[in-house]
A and B are shown apart, each in its own frame.
Chain A
């Protein structure tokens, strides 16, 4: 008996060749990527600068933080939130047709593939390129930021919409068919209830991310809290940067907490 167990144990699959290859490839890739690191730029005063930055960030400029005018942090946060909110909505609306085109259970394979390529192409273009393109349309300001944000959301949102659509339970539709429902009734009672919680949850999640990524818009002058933040940092005014960052972090944490609550509720029905 013991011998047979021993034998079986000896004959266990030994994937070490595969594992060794993977490990070697990973190590080779890491060594290769290590060559890109240039330490030449590191200045001796790096640690001192870091200490300065940290002390500035932990002593935020409270006058700016609780300023109620249009230059104050509170108004900037409101503007950022509005950009993220409308941007998410517009992005979510654009994503719906794209997602339906690219869902492989609804459309023929080639069409779905083209839809996916379009979504990937939209996703690849960095936010500031879109920002520049939209500034031509609307002029600098929050409106351009909103449009940029919406296009940036399309990639992720439509990807998750596609997953939701592909998970659609068709048996519900079949039974509605059997009960003699019209197409609109099928959409209203068969498809919408299945998709709405998923779509809403995705949009709320994306709103979280958009709020966090809104600083990128400031780079090209597309409104929001990014521009003052980057200006403050480029001018080494760390107290100001600290105030803006503190406001942003608190806002994002609050929004994240609320949105998690809503999404848990949506998921449980």
Chain B
């Protein structure tokens, strides 16, 4: 940005009291140019075409129209996969969020003063976070076989990375007084962590876990696509057979479930924080 100021020198204004102040040139043109350049490249690469979009957009609603009205008598077959999805996400969220606690502790700078350990932990968490859930689910199906166990693992891995980042950021903002007092009294790090840090981060940690669980229910429905159990399995099947009315029913069931879970968890989160 210093270079930018040198190319476009700031305007000098003289105030009524004789003082001179510098008003730097607006950065907006630079940002707009970069933005436009990126958009042009993206349009070229992806083949974005407004005319195609406008003339053919009604095709989008063809499948949507086939989904309405949904096939109500298909509902009895949905219950099991639906509950499988919920169970998968519940267990996966729980395992992931519990396992991550020691790792998050090791990744917070205010508890561990060894910079190498902190950096290594953070790198590990970011790499796991960048690993697409679909890929971890696919790998899990090779190891655990097709079924809900693979889906549970994939969700646990995702939750692990997501909660890990939030948790260490949370830990870094706590009041360190109690922790230091406990250490001064001769408590070990782990003991001081449990008694001084945990009560401070617990409400927001639980709230984040619930939030993650909400998202996982929705995410778990994709995992069936690679054979990791749950709703995605029958969703994939029905799409393959072009039974869009059944697809509509599955989506409706998912929507209602997500709505109920979100309402409950939002109420719980309001009480927590």
Contacts and interface: CB of A to CB of B under 8 A. Distances in A.
B132 to A, nearest CB: 4
Interface in A115-147: 120-121, 123-129, 132-134, 136-138, 141-143, 145-147
Category for how many chain A residues contact B:
35 or more
A219 B48 contact: no
Secondary structure at the B interface, as helix, strand, loop or mixed, is: helix
A249 B130 contact: yes
Interface stretch (B17-25, B49-57, B112-120): B49-57
**Residue of A47, A86, A127, A245 with most chain B CB atoms under a 10 A cut-off:** A86
B73 interface: no
Nearest to B49: A143
A41 B63 contact: no
A76 to B, nearest CB: 11
B48 A38 contact: no
Nearest to B91: A33
A85 B38 contact: yes
Interface string B33-74: 000001101110111110011001101101110000000000
B90 A86 contact: no
Contact of B131 (A53, A128, A245, A256): A245
Interface string B238-252: 010000000100010
A248 B130 contact: yes
B134 interface: yes
B148 A132 contact: no
A83 B62 CA distance: 24
A73 B134 CA distance: 19
Contacts of B239: 128-129, 132
A187 interface: no
Contact of B146 (A41, A143, A248, A256): A41
B62 A136 contact: yes
B148 A133 contact: no
Interface stretch (B80-88, B186-194, B197-205): B80-88
A129 B251 contact: yes
Contacts, number: 174
A124 B45 contact: no
B208 to A, nearest CB: 15
A215 B145 contact: no
A32 interface: yes
Given A121-B255, A145-B46, A213 B132 contact: yes
Given A42-B149, A46-B143, A128-B222, A137 B134 contact: no
Contacts of A219: 134, 225-226
Interface string B136-148: 0011001111111
B56 A137 contact: yes
B67 to A, nearest CB: 9
B59 A137 contact: yes
A35 interface: yes
A140 to B, nearest CB: 11
Interface residues of B, number: 63
Interface in A47-85: 47, 49-50, 53, 78-79, 81-83, 85
B139 A53 contact: yes
Contact of A212 (B52, B63, B132): B132
A126 B48 contact: no
A30 B91 CA distance: 6
B127 A249 contact: yes
A233 interface: yes
Given A82-B41, A141-B47, A46 B53 contact: no
A178 interface: no
A37 interface: yes
Q: Which of B135, B229, B258 counts the most chain A CB atoms within 10 A? A: B135
B53 A252 contact: no
Given A39-B149, A53-B143, A126-B222, 13 more contacts: A34-B91, A41-B144, A86-B43, A123-B218, A136-B62, A137-B53, A142-B45, A145-B46, A216-B132, A219-B226, A233-B135, A234-B138, A248-B132
Interface of B: 38-39, 41-43, 45-49, 52-53, 56-57, 59-60, 62-64, 83-84, 86-88, 90-91, 94, 126-127, 129-132, 134-135, 138-139, 142-150, 152, 218, 221-222, 225-226, 229, 232, 235, 239, 247, 251, 254-255, 258-259, 262
Q: What are the nearest 10 A-B pairs in CB distance?
A: A41-B145, A36-B87, A33-B87, A82-B42, A142-B46, A215-B132, A82-B45, A252-B130, A33-B90, A33-B91
Interface of A: 29-30, 32-43, 46-47, 49-50, 53, 78-79, 81-83, 85-86, 89, 120-121, 123-129, 132-134, 136-138, 141-143, 145-147, 212-213, 215-216, 219, 223, 226, 229-230, 233-234, 241, 245, 248-249, 252-253, 256
6 contacts: A33-B87, A33-B90, A34-B91, A35-B87, A42-B149, A124-B251
